[in-house]
Structure 1
């Protein structure tokens, strides 16, 4: 007596949960790290930055909004592991005290400086192969799709957080990145940044997300610094007999997270 032949029918109810519909937000197929921005987490598969995959960030200027967008996740990744955050080809030197004040210690940063595209790609691959590295941030404006695919494969093999920064002029070009974002200053409100999701495992998101470009602490410190500068200008411009009273004693140290930058962590005042 022979064995019964397998049924040609598929249990649709059993298999339905394994099928991803293109008009719905997909589930993460690997670990994620929360972005620290609730609005953004709600629009990402799994609710965070994908681990073991490339996230591509497109910007008009290479230094804009980097720390505002990524700092919460980097702080968490470093706290949960023991390795550094590797910066490859960063446009400006990060100012450690500013980042340390927000939870990212100076000793957790490793800055690789090189203007050569090939050297940056090599350094990025080596960093991704290091099991102790918490995250890799790479500025690769000249990288070709084949080179990006190699980095995507390296990130997948070693389950690393990988962020690649490129010009927003590349928005229409093909990319192997699992997640692709365009980040820009909000025209209506300087306190916000527009984050548009160009590519994700789910339907397109036509309306950009408006995320805060500053923490409440940074906003209050910036306002305090502006008030202090205004008082100093009054002291200089006013005649001696009507000079403004001296402000209350305060110790404020101005620091630049990215030298020459003009945004939030790029330019802020922090109480000493």
Structure 2
């Protein structure tokens, strides 16, 4: 019985509560004070992180500091991104475009594509936008990510069914006034935390467009009245 238990404990997908700090000793700060405090320092450098959020809400820009802390000269793979990731945007976010791979695959193959990218040993980061992931799939990705020292970020839409997952970090991002409100549903190094608020502006407003339209689309009689 003791030998059987020892074999179970050696499995990379199994950890004890007392081992959590040892296995997740390297943390990458997000640059947001309240968020990092609630996370006991930041994101784990390896393992699976699920972020439930609306696609295109600035989810990648929010994590710019984390991405900049990852190992240089390794690949970053983006699977089924909701929009076009252009070279100028990648540069602004801290990526070298030549070190980035954009992958488009059928939704039912996104998990397979993510696992293959992890196992290639060429990636320090894999980001995948996917539908609701099952616990068994998540466990496979968590084990692979830990073994190959890769950060895997899974983005899910809030309307999908969210199962509890055996992963390193599970987050819910919600739009709030002038930023985000984040629920930390699960983390290896601490307890769940709800309602962490951070100021963050990503989506530009249309004030510049409105100003330009008001200047260049003025009616002729308005110009005449002003200058006459």
Q: Give the TM-score taking structure 2 as reference length.
A: 0.78
Q: How many residues are paired up?
A: 207
- Conserved? CA contact 1:88–1:137, under 8 Å: yes
Once residues 70 and 177 of structure 1 are traced to their aligned partners in structure 2, the CA distance between those partners, rounded to angstroms, is: 18
Give the SS at the match of 2:217: helix
Matched, 1:175 2:156: no
- Where does residue 217 of structure 2 map in the other structure? 236
TM score, norm. by length of structure 1: 0.67
| Equivalent in 54, 69, 77 of residue 76 of structure 1 | 69
Q: How is 1:61-140 mapped onto 2 (pairs within 5 angstroms)?
A: 61-77=54-70, 80-117=71-108, 119-140=109-130
5+ residue gaps, structure 1: 1-17, 21-25, 245-272
Aligned to 2:193: 205
2-structure distance, mates of 1:236, 1:72: 41
What are the within-5 Å matches in structure 2 for residues 182-261 of structure 1? 182-186=172-176, 189=177, 191-200=178-187, 201-206=189-194, 208-214=195-201, 222=204, 226-227=207-208, 229-238=210-219, 239-242=222-225
RMSD between aligned residues: 2.7
1:52 maps to what in 2?
Answer: 46
- Equivalent residue, structure 2, for 1:35: 30
Relative distance call for 1:214 and 1:174 in structure 2 (3 A) is same
Give unmatched runs, 5+ long, in structure 2. 1-15
Deviations 1:56-79 (CA, angstroms, capped at 9, x unpaired): 1112x33323123222211232xx
Deviations 1:59-109 (A, max 9, x none): 2x33323123222211232xx421121011212221221231343232232
Displaced runs of 4 or more, over 6 A: none
- Aligned-partner Cα distance in 2 for 1:138–1:90: 7
The structure whose Rg is larger is: 1
